[in-house]
Amino acid sequence: MGKQYKVIKISSNWSLEKLKKKVEDALNKISTEGWEIISVSFTNYGYTAMITIAK
């Protein structure tokens, strides 16, 4: 069986700093659960981040 991939969307309506904190918290949680972080990208529309992970 190959890798299992997931894409996680994180957004904040308030500020870039709040989005940054949410992404940091998510990355720390994801990595402790054994997931490999493939990519993190930020969109140009609003305060949104997309995280791709694999296990």
How does pLDDT run across 3-53, given as a tens digit for each residue? 999 999 999 988 888 999 999 999 999 999 999 999 999 987 779 999 999
Task: Evaluate whether residue 2 is within a structural domain.
Answer: no
Residue 1 has pLDDT above 80, yes or no: no
Domain span at residue 25 reads 7-50
Total structural domains in the chain? Answer: 1
Task: Evaluate whether residue 21 is within a structural domain.
Answer: yes
Task: Evaluate whether residue 38 is within a structural domain.
Answer: yes
- Rounded CA separation 47/55 (Å): 27
In the chain, DSSP finds a helix count (H) and a strand count (E) of 1, 3
pTM value is 0.84
Q: What is the pLDDT of residue 13?
A: 85
